[in-house]
């Protein structure tokens, strides 16, 4: 028997207000055609008054806890990926912990931008397998709308707000059973040499303000396709599976063209790729768990499926994880 981190349930949350491309075109010089053709995005949700990263995360966690059929008080680890925390500190994970009524366990945020959920997932997995905790909430939650320059059409049309969460539990499984559930292999990477291609132009320790999101989209795109294809291959080799064995790929939802190009490189049919970028836009760390929960709830992803998570974001940071759900 071996200790593995098993997904017990998932949940997600979106702000009430949906903003179409047509509405975006009333704010900046853009068109529905340009946004759909270049990105695949048709809609995004934007947080309103009273909706924050922590409130969205809490709602996603409540649904994940309900789906898992567990008591919130039994959660002893919360790892939250975000680049849009409610406050510089305390960590948004501790705000969520308090809102859920859990006490005394480990709770912290992870800053890896669009890879935030993958980094949080890998960190929680490691802590669960060493016995430091038994039951975790892993969250990706963002209010990207609060980081955007709403006069910059090259970035403001691309992002949205939302949250997704999974309950991960340390379970003893029979490793010789190929259908035994749990996280099978994960690989994470970072390359700080490209920080300037996607960054905030402010921060608490530099300007004393949060700044605005800046991106050189074309260069980010190029790196994303190469890095994602490489890390997916790495995870397949580490796990002993082939691309053909994968039932579903749940990618970071940045751009439909990145998703297509990455799937093509791996020789994966597009029907196996979960796509929500059309509805949610790029929700950074929230996008992978949001897409996962969407596909679980609409019945596509089922227990026993082999699912590949992958993401790349600012830093650069990137990673992938193969899971038997
Ligand atoms: N509406 C209309 N025109 C626009 C808009 C807009 N919203 N934004 C830019 N344009 C114009 C530009 O000004 C430019 O005009 P010009 O040729 O007259 O100078 C033209 O469109 C082309 O601009 P590019 O930036 O070269 O367009 P590109 O085809 O590269 O698409 C995009 C831009 C969508 C950002 C793309 O590069 C991309 O998706 N990159 C990936 C970045 C990303 O998704 N990052 C998210 C986080 S990182 C990650 O998740 C991987």
Per DSSP bridges, beta strands 248-251 and 306-313 are parallel
Distance 179 CA to ligand 1 centre (A): 42
Cα torsion for 114, 120, 123, 124, to the nearest 10°?
Answer: -160
For the chain, strand residue ranges (E) read 2-13, 17-20, 43-46, 77-81, 106-110, 135-143, 161-173, 182-190, 198-200, 213-215, 248-251, 306-313, 317-324
Q: How many CB atoms lie within 10 A of CB 30?
A: 17
Q: Is-catalytic flag, 252?
A: yes
**Mean local confidence (pLDDT), 147-161:** 98
Which of the residues 114, 156, 255, 280 is marked catalytic?
114
User: Under 8 Å CB-to-CB from 206, ≥6 apart: which residues?
Assistant: none
Distance 157 CA to ligand 1 centre (A): 10
Q: In terms of DSSP H, where are the helices of 174-276?
A: 217-239, 256-266
pLDDT of 104 > 90? The answer is yes
Q: Is-catalytic flag, 114?
A: yes
Q: Which residues of 187-205 are buried (b: 16+ CB within 10 A; e: fewer)?
A: bbbbeeebeebbbbeeeee
Distance 244 CA to ligand 1 centre (A): 32
Which of the residues 45, 194, 252, 280 is marked catalytic?
252
Please, what is the average pLDDT of the chain? 97
C-alpha closest to that of 213 among 165, 164, 149: 149
Distance 153 CA to ligand 1 centre (A): 9
Compute the half-sphere exposure of residue 256: CA atoms within 13 Å on the CB side of its CA.
16
**Mean local confidence (pLDDT), 307-319:** 97
Per DSSP bridges, beta strands 77-81 and 17-20 are unpaired
CATH 3.40.47.10 assigned to 182-324: yes
Assigned token pair, 323: 């899971």
**Contact residues of ligand 1, CB 6 A cut-off:** 30, 34, 38-39, 114, 153-154, 157-158, 198, 215, 217-218, 220-221, 224, 252, 254-255, 258, 282, 312-313
Give domain 2-173's CATH superfamily: Thiolase/Chalcone synthase (3.40.47.10)
Assigned token pair, 53: 């990263």
pLDDT per position as a tens digit, 115-151: 999 999 999 999 999 999 999 999 999 999 999 999 9
Q: Is 157 within 8 Å of 183 (Cβ atoms)?
A: no
Q: What percent of the chain has pLDDT over 70?
A: 100
pLDDT per position as a tens digit, 68-102: 999 999 999 999 999 999 999 999 999 999 999 99
Assign 316 a pLDDT band (cuts: 50, 70, 90): very high
Which residue spans of the chain are classified as CATH 3.40.47.10? 2-173, 182-324
Which of the residues 21, 227, 255, 282 is marked catalytic?
282
Assign 266 a pLDDT band (cuts: 50, 70, 90): confident
pLDDT per position as a tens digit, 208-264: 999 999 999 999 999 999 999 999 999 999 999 999 999 999 999 999 998 988 888
If 0-12 CB within 10 Å is exposed, 13-18 middle and 19+ buried, where does residue 176 land? exposed
Assign 265 a pLDDT band (cuts: 50, 70, 90): confident
pLDDT in the model for residue 280: 98
Distance 39 CA to ligand 1 centre (A): 8
- Protein residue whose Cα sits closest to atom 19 of ligand 1: 154
Interatomic CA distance for residues 39 and 157, integer angstroms: 10
Q: Ligand 1 test: best mutation among 38, 190, 314, most atoms within 8 Å of CB?
A: 38
Q: What backbone phi and psi angles, to 5 degrees, belong to 70?
A: -120, 175
**Mean local confidence (pLDDT), 18-37:** 98
- Protein residue whose Cα sits closest to atom 7 of ligand 1: 153
- Protein residue whose Cα sits closest to atom 10 of ligand 1: 154
């Amino acid at each position: 028997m071996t200790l593995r981190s098993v997904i017990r349930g998932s949940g997600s949350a979106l702000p009430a207000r949906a903003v179409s491309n047509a509405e975006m075109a009333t704010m900046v010089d853009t068109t529905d055609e340009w946004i759909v053709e270049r990105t695949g995005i048709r809609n995004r949700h934007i947080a309103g008054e009273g909706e924050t990263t922590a409130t969205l995360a809490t709602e996603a966690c409540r649904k994940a806890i309900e789906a898992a059929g567990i008591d919130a008080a039994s959660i002893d680890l919360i790892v939250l990926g975000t680049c849009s925390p409610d406050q510089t500190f305390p960590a948004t994970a501790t705000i969520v912990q308090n809102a859920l009524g859990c006490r005394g366990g480990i709770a912290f945020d992870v800053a890896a931008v669009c890879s935030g959920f993958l980094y949080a997932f890998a960190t929680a997995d490691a802590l669960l397998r060493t016995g430091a905790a038994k039951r975790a909430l892993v969250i990706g939650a963002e209010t990207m709308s609060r980081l955007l320059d709403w006069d910059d059409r090259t970035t403001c049309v691309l992002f949205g707000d939302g949250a997704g969460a999974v309950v991960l539990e340390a379970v003893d499984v029979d490793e010789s059973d190929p259908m035994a559930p749990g996280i099978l292999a994960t690989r994470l990477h970072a390359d700080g040499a490209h920080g300037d291609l996607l960054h905030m132009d402010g921060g608490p320790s530099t300007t004393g303000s949060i700044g605005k999101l800046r991106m050189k989209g074309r260069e980010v795109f190029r790196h994303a396709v190469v890095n994602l294809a490489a890390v997916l291959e790495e995870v397949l080799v580490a796990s002993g599976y082939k691309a053909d064995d994968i039932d579903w790929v749940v990618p970071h939802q940045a751009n439909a063209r990145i998703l297509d190009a990455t799937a093509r490189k791996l020789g994966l049919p597009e029907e196996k790729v979960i796509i929500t970028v059309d509805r949610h836009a790029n929700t950074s760390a929230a996008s992978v768990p949001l897409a996962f929960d969407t596909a679980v709830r609409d019945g596509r992803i089922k227990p026993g499926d082999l699912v590949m998570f992958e993401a790349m974001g600012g830093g650069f940071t990137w990673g992938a994880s193969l899971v038997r759900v």
